[in-house]
Amino acid sequence: MDRTLGEHVRALEERMNLVSEQIMQENDSSKRNHLESELRALESALDHYHAAFRIERDIANPTA
């Protein structure tokens, strides 16, 4: 992988913003459904990354 995990998360967040904008502009319900599906997948991936970050933080600093 050529980028850090933080960079990857930022790229996913940028993609989420782009897909959200596309959903708002899309008139074709089939295309909008596809974009909404992609958005849910992006949200799920980000949820997993954020959970991993929290676990890593808790392991690194268990008393915080």
Which range marks the domain in which residue 38 is found? 5-60
pLDDT tens digits for 16-26? 999 999 999 99
CB atoms closer than 10 angstroms to residue 19: 21
For residue 4, the model assigns a pLDDT of: 83
- Residues 40-57: what's their mean pLDDT? 92
Give the total number of structural domains in the chain. Answer: 1
Give me the amino acid identity at 12: L
For residue 26, the model assigns a pLDDT of: 97
50 token code pair: 């954020």
Q: How confident is the model at residue 6 (pLDDT cuts 50, 70, 90)?
A: confident
% of the chain with per-residue pLDDT over 70: 97
